[in-house]
C-alpha cells in the first residue's frame, strides 16, 4: 500500500502521480511537437483525471510548454500546483547552457510567471547549479523572489547529497528532481536524504526515456503480466511504492498514453513482487 498524496513543502497537498510537460515539445525539447490543440487536450485531461502536480520548465520549447500550461489550465483550479524551472538557457535543439547569475535567474522567473499567467509559482526549481556562480548567490536570488511573493517553494534539479546539504544550509528546500527509475537507481542516496528530510523527490525519466520497453527482463515481465499492465505502467507503480516522497511526473503528448500512465496509481504491488523487482 502507499499514500497517493504528499504535502509539498509541508503544506501544499499534491497527488504523487503528476504530469510533466517536456513531451509536449519537439525533439530535444525544441519547438512544437504536434498540434497545439492536442497538447491542450492532454493537459486538460490530466487534470480531469485528478492530477494536481504539473511540472514544466522555461526551456521546454523554449517557453512553449509554459504557454501551453496556461492556455490549457488558466484560470487554474485551486488544487493544481505548478512547478517550473530556471537556470538553463537554450540556443538550439541540442544546446543547453547553465546560467545561474542572479540577474538571469530573476529574469527567467519573471518571464515564467508571465507565460504561466501567475503572480506566484508554487515550486521554482534551480534546473542546474551553475558551477561558475556561488551557490549562495543563486539560492539567495530565489529566496529574494520567494520573499517578494513570486516563488512559494524552492527546489533543486540534478544534485548530489553534498550539494543538497549545502543548499539546505542556505535556503529552505522543498524538493529535488534527479534521474531515478526502476532500471536507474544511481540517485538512491539522494532519495534517502530526501526521505530523511521530508523533501519531495520528482524523478525525471521515470520511464527510463523509453528504455524500459526494450530488452528482456523476466521478473519485470512476470509482475507486469500478473497485473495486466505494460512495463511502463508497472514502472510508475513501482516508484509510488518505492518511497512515500517519490512524485513521478511522466510526460506524453498522447491521450491514450496519458490514460495508461495515470492508471498506474491503481496497481497495488505485494511485498513478494517488490522483492522480485529489487
Active site residues: 60
Strand-strand pairing, 95-98 and 88-92: antiparallel
Residues 162-188 as b or e (16 or more Cβ within 10 Å = b) = eebeebeebbebbbbbbbbbbebeebe
Residue among 77, 166, 181 at smallest CA distance from 129: 166
Which residue in the block uniquely carries the three cell numbers 501567475?
118
For CA atoms 29, 6, 71, 58, give the dihedral sign: negative
In terms of C-beta density within 10 A (0-12 exposed, 13-18 middle, 19 or more buried), how is residue 109 classed?
buried
Residue whose cell numbers read 496519458: 258
- Grid cell digits, residue 275: 522483492
Amino acid at each position: 500500500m502507499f499514500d497517493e498524496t504528499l504535502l509539498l513543502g509541508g503544506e501544499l497537498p499534491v497527488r504523487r502521480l503528476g504530469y510533466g510537460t517536456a513531451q509536449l515539445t519537439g525533439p530535444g525539447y525544441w519547438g512544437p511537437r504536434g498540434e497545439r490543440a492536442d497538447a491542450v487536450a492532454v493537459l486538460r485531461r490530466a487534470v480531469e483525471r485528478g492530477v494536481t502536480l504539473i511540472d514544466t520548465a522555461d526551456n521546454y520549447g523554449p517557453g512553449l510548454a509554459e504557454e501551453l500550461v496556461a492556455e490549457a489550465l488558466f484560470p487554474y483550479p485551486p488544487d493544481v500546483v505548478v512547478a517550473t524551472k530556471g537556470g538553463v538557457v537554450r540556443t538550439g535543439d541540442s544546446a543547453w547552457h547553465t546560467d545561474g547569475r542572479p540577474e538571469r535567474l530573476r529574469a527567467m522567473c519573471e518571464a515564467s510567471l508571465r507565460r504561466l499567467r501567475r503572480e506566484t509559482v508554487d515550486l521554482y526549481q534551480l534546473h542546474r547549479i551553475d558551477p561558475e556562480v556561488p551557490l549562495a548567490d543563486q539560492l539567495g536570488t530565489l529566496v529574494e523572489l520567494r520573499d517578494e511573493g513570486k516563488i512559494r517553494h524552492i527546489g533543486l534539479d540534478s544534485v548530489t547529497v553534498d550539494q543538497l546539504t549545502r543548499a539546505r544550509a542556505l535556503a529552505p528546500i522543498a524538493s529535488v528532481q534527479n534521474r531515478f527509475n526502476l532500471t536507474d537507481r544511481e540517485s538512491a542516496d539522494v532519495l534517502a536524504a530526501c526521505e530523511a528530510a521530508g523533501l519531495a523527490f520528482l524523478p525525471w525519466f521515470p520511464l527510463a526515456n523509453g528504455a524500459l520497453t526494450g530488452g528482456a527482463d523476466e521478473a519485470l515481465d512476470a509482475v507486469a503480466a500478473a497485473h495486466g499492465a505494460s512495463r511502463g505502467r508497472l514502472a510508475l507503480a513501482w516508484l509510488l511504492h518505492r518511497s512515500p516522497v517519490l512524485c513521478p511526473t511522466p510526460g506524453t503528448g498522447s491521450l491514450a498514453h496519458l490514460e495508461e500512465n495515470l492508471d498506474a496509481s491503481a496497481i497495488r504491488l505485494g511485498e513478494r513482487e517488490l522483492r522480485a523487482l529489487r
